[in-house]
């Protein structure tokens, strides 16, 4: 993928302001796009758009194909005639700075079911039937999976009765009939998500903004994908994972990271031309302009750990058919508008795979100033075919990170940042953040993308995720008053100054 020099902002839609407790695809999303345009930003990067499962993580979803219904805009449902104002009169009092996920789910489920009841009475237009036809390879199975999960009190699919955990087509047909209304409800939500997101994406594109989506390499065990296609994953005859994903110990974790996602049966996937992967890439590129692949190194070799292990220490690297996979995907899509997360333990083989397909990689400012960092990983050495971030969703905010450098009295880092970049502890928080943003803009990386938390000068109270922890993650939201004309002006001037 060939990049031109541009800049943008990382912000997941759930973090947008909204009176309904969670960011959505309504007015505030369009206003954020307008803000991007006024600030001369050309890129809006989001996290995975799929429906979160365990821990509300967008990287542990109930489907690799479905959209997150929680970001469906209630106000747009009013405009489309699916709701009346008396349907939403008693909006609960929600936090403006955090997503209260359970409270939001309970409220939106009530509202969405009112919209569904209205929808059932209306004549369906062609777009609805076209959506169902275009998504038939996953949509009905997803709807059935979610309907059965509801009737099973949310239990994971391998805890269901064996006959439905591993259903025949006859059993599936029986449940589709018994749970017809519930299945149609989940299909209806996907239709709404698709319709609203495509409108938002089209508007963004007309404003000159491209959307960067996110594709996690692994899928959640408790997902419609694993339930529908168990033969594609390393599972035993009871549906339990045999081997799970993670990464080995490194300087950030003495025991590694044990993610717990089931591994793919790559030989089975390869035998049918990687069709599941083709479908997955094809679906995502319908919704976004550029794809960021998470944990790219797993397409060259992946860390395998026993499903019974308590940590990721006792694992091994196993080769993956990344070259064959991306060759097949390229045939399907014709082009590969892809950037890759190439952080962590990166071998020459991973670098060759990245280079073969011209995939730009990532640079993180927070990883660029340490004592043993090679020159090519410092800002002055960044390659043109790369994307630089002050940090990602998994990092501290840049202000939180710098304050921890001060608190730990890291004399080497403090000296480097002061001597070469003019950053010192006597500076105001705002000065510190904007100096780091300027460093991100002023280097050879073609794309510079800044998390909104750094632009509005937040410490770690604005952090999106603490890897390896469950609870209290993914819930950050910004308050509308924080996006000011002064910020627009600063971004616009930096964009012009550094030719982005």
Where do the DSSP E strands lie in 419-491? 447-451
Integer distance in angstroms from the first to the last C-alpha of the chain?
18
The percent helix, strand, coil of the chain (3-state, each to 5) is: 45, 15, 40
Q: What is the 3-state secondary structure (H, E, C) of 35-76?
A: HHHHCCCCEEECCCCCCECHHHCCCCECCCCCCCHHHCCHHH
Within 8 A by CB and 6+ apart from 249, the residues are: 255, 256, 312, 313
Q: Is 145 within the bounds of a domain?
A: yes
- Distance CA(288)–CA(8), nearest Å, equals 15
Between vectors from CA 213 to CA 433 and to CA 437, what angle results, nearest 5°?
15
pLDDT at position 479:
95
**Collapsed DSSP state (helix, strand, coil) of residue 363:** strand
Distance CA(188)–CA(61), nearest Å, equals 19
Contacts of 449 (CB under 8 A, 6+ apart): 7, 8, 9, 10, 43, 45, 212, 387, 388, 389
Positions in the chain short of pLDDT 70: 251-252
Which ranges of 62-160 would DSSP assign to H, the alpha helix?
A: 74-79, 101-121, 126-134, 139-151
Catalytic site residue from 182, 341, 396, 454: 341
| Contact by Cβ (8 Å): 391, 462 | no
Q: Let me know if 475 is a catalytic residue.
A: no
Alpha carbon 23 to chain centroid, angstroms: 15
At 334 the pLDDT is 86
Task: Give yes or no for a contact between 132 and 187, defined as CB atoms under 8 angstroms apart.
Answer: yes
Q: Which residues pair with 233 in a beta bridge?
A: 264
- Count of the separate structural domains present in the chain: 1
Cα–Cα distances in angstroms (integers) from residue 489 to residues 37, 223, 349, 429, 485, in the given order: 12, 44, 43, 18, 6
Question: Is 144:188 a contact under the CB 8 Å cutoff?
Answer: no
Give the dihedral sign, CA 70/72/78/83. Answer: negative
CATH number at residue 138: 3.20.20.80
Classify strands 290-293 and 257-262 as parallel, antiparallel or unpaired. unpaired
Distances (CA, A) of 383 to 361, 387, 500: 9, 9, 16
Predicted local distance difference test score (pLDDT) of residue 1: 87
Catalytic residue among 28, 222, 225, 294: 294
Tens of pLDDT along 79-95? 999 999 999 988 999 99
148 with 179: CB under 8 angstroms? yes
Q: What is the pLDDT of residue 252?
A: 66
Q: What pLDDT is stored for residue 264 in this prediction?
A: 98
Residue 361 located in a structural domain:
yes
Q: Which candidate, 407, 436, 401, 403, places its Cα nearest to that of 420? A: 436
Owning domain of residue 374: 6-497
Q: What is the DSSP letter of 484?
A: -
d(CA 31, CA 204): 10
Kindly report the number of other CB atoms within 10 A of residue 161's CB atom. 11
The rounded distance, in Å, linking the Cα atoms of 450 and 86 is 40
Pairwise CA distance, residues 83 & 118, whole Å: 7
pLDDT at position 344: 87
Catalytic residue, chosen from 313, 394, 431, 488, is: 394
pLDDT at 123: 87
**Element spanning 244, H or E:** strand 243-247
**pLDDT tens digits, one per residue of 141-161:** 999 999 999 999 999 999 999
Evaluate whether residue 54 is within a structural domain: yes
Task: Evaluate whether residue 1 is within a structural domain.
Answer: no
Any catalytic annotation for residue 294?
yes
In eight-state DSSP terms, residue 381 is: G
- Tokens linked to 16: 């947008």
């Amino acid at each position: 993928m060939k990049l031109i020099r541009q800049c943008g902002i990382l912000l997941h839609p759930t973090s947008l302001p909204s009176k309904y407790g969670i960011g959505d695809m309504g007015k505030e999303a369009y206003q954020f796009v307008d803000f991007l345009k006024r600030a001369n930003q050309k890129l809006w990067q989001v996290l995975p758009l799929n429906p979160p499962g365990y821990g509300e993580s967008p990287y542990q979803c109930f489907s690799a194909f479905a959209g997150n219904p929680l970001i469906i805009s209630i106000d747009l449902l009013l405009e489309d005639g699916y709701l009346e104002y008396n349907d939403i009169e008693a909006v609960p009092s929600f936090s403006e700075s955090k997503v209260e996920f359970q409270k939001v789910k309970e409220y939106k489920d009530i509202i969405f079911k009112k919209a569904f009841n209205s929808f059932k009475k209306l004549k369906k237009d062609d777009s609805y039937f076209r959506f169902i036809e275009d998504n038939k390879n996953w949509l009905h199975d997803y709807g059935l999976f979610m309907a059965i999960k509801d009737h099973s009190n949310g239990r994971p699919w391998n805890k269901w009765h064996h006959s439905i955990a591993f259903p025949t087509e006859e059993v599936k047909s029986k449940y589709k009939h018994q749970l017809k209304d519930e299945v149609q409800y989940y299909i209806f939500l996907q239709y709404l998500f698709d319709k609203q997101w495509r409108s938002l994406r089209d508007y963004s594109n007309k404003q000159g903004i491209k959307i960067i989506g996110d594709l996690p390499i692994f899928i959640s065990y408790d997902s419609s994908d694993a339930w529908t296609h168990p033969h594609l994953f390393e599972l035993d005859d009871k549906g339990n994972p045999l081997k799970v994903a993670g990464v080995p110990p490194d300087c950030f974790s003495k025991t590694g990271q044990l993610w717990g996602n089931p591994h793919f049966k790559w030989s089975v996937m390869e035998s049918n031309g990687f069709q599941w992967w083709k479908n997955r890439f094809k679906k995502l590129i319908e919704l976004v302009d550029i794809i960021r692949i998470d944990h790219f190194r797993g397409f060259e070799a992946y860390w395998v750990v026993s499903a019974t292990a308590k940590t990721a220490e006792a694992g091994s690297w196993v080769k993956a058919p990344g070259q064959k996979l991306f060759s097949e995907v390229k045939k399907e899509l014709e082009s590969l508008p892809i950037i890759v997360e190439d952080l962590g333990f990166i071998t020459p083989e991973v670098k060759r795979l990245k280079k073969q397909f011209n995939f730009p990689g990532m640079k993180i400012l927070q990883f660029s100033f340490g004592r043993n960092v090679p020159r090519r990983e410092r800002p002055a050495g960044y390659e043109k075919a790369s994307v630089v971030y002050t940090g990602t969703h998994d990092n501290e905010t840049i202000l939180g990170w710098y304050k921890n450098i001060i608190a730990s009295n890291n004399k080497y880092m403090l000296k480097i940042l002061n001597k070469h970049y003019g950053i010192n502890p006597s500076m105001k928080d705002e000065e510190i953040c904007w100096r780091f943003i300027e460093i991100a803009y002023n280097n050879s990386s073609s794309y510079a993308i800044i998390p909104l938390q750094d632009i509005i000068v937040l410490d770690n109270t604005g952090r999106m995720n603490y890897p390896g922890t469950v609870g209290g993650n993914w819930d950050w939201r910004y308050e509308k008053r924080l996006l000011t004309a002064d910020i627009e002006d600063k971004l616009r001037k930096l964009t012009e100054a550094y030719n982005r």
